[in-house]
Every structure is written in C-alpha cells, then in structure tokens.
Amino acid sequence: MDSEITAYLEEVRAHRGELGEAMRALDDALAMPLGLGQLWRRRVRAALTELAHDLEDHVSLTEAPGGLYADLRTRSPRLASGVEAQLADHVHFVTEVGRLLDARDEGTAGEDVAGHREAINQLLALLARHRQRGSDLIYEAYAVDIGGSD
C-alpha cells in the first residue's frame, strides 16, 4: 500500500475516533434521568450538536473526490454495493441528526422526551453498525484494521 493511502487511512482512523467519542458522549447524556429536565435537555443538545459536527467531518472526508469511497470503488469494484450502502447511510444520518436537532430547538421534542430519547438511541445503533461496515470495507480493500476500540 502506498504512503499516500496509508496517511489518508490514518486521517480516517482519527476522525473515526472522534465520531466514536461523540457517540459515547451522546449515549452518556441520554443515560441521564429524564427527570433532570432542562439539564438533561442541555446535555443531550450539546452532545447531539457535537455528533452533528463530527458526522459532517466524516462525510466530507470519506466522500471527498479521491477520498475513501472513491478509492474503494476504483481499487475494489466488488465492494461497490457496500460503498453505496455507506453513502445512503450518510444521507439518512445527516437528515436524521438535523431533524432531531430541529425538534430540540423548536420544542417539539419536549412534548415526547422519551420518544426523542428513543429516536436518538436508534440513531446511535445505526451509526454503530455503519462504523462496523466501514471497518469491514476498509479491511477487505486494504487489509488494514482502522480500530474498533477508539
């Protein structure tokens, strides 16, 4: 593997770690009791905002021209369907995080805080599977483990 792709995969690994940290922070915020009211809402909002930023960085990095998914399509065309699934996930995640943040800002989540928490938990579960599939794709294409314990 050439040094350029090695350096790029290190960047992907670093961003993957940041996304994992944001997911854990959001999970920690969600685990707080709903009865804390405004404190719970502020913590979840802050953690969801951080996740949104890290998700945007992840999408920009992996979807950039000459980036991970473009290279995977070129290097390993057999993985194209997996790449397409990851790209579809990105659209869903960005849309869903935006929707959840809007619900928070518009106060509509206040009407069903437990439902809001459940929607975020579902998002986190989907993100975890997305990260797993991404690791599998990278390993299949480059025989590189980008890390699972970040």
Q: pLDDT tens digit string along 56-112?
A: 999 999 999 989 999 999 989 999 999 999 999 999 999 999 999 988 665 555 568
Cα 138 to Cα 37: distance, rounded to the nearest angstrom: 42
- Is residue 59 within 8 A of residue 89, CB to CB? The reply is no
Which residues have CB under 8 Å from 90's CB, separation 6+? Answer: 58, 59, 62, 63
Closest by CA to 48, choosing from 133, 127, 112, 150, is 127
Choose between 112 and 140: higher pLDDT: 140
3-state helix, strand, coil in the chain (%, to 5): 85, 0, 15
Higher pLDDT, 4 or 134: 134
What is the pLDDT, as a whole number, of residue 148?
A: 55
Q: What is the pLDDT of residue 15?
A: 92
pLDDT at residue 2, as a whole number: 79
**Digit-coded pLDDT (tens) for 12-50:** 999 999 999 999 999 999 999 988 888 998 999 999 999
In the three-class reduction of DSSP (H, G, I as helix; E, B as strand; rest coil), residue 6 is classed as helix
Tell me the CA distances in angstroms from 12 to 7, 96, 97, 108, 135, one per residue in order: 9, 23, 21, 35, 10
All domains of the chain in start order, with CATH: 3-142 (1.20.120)
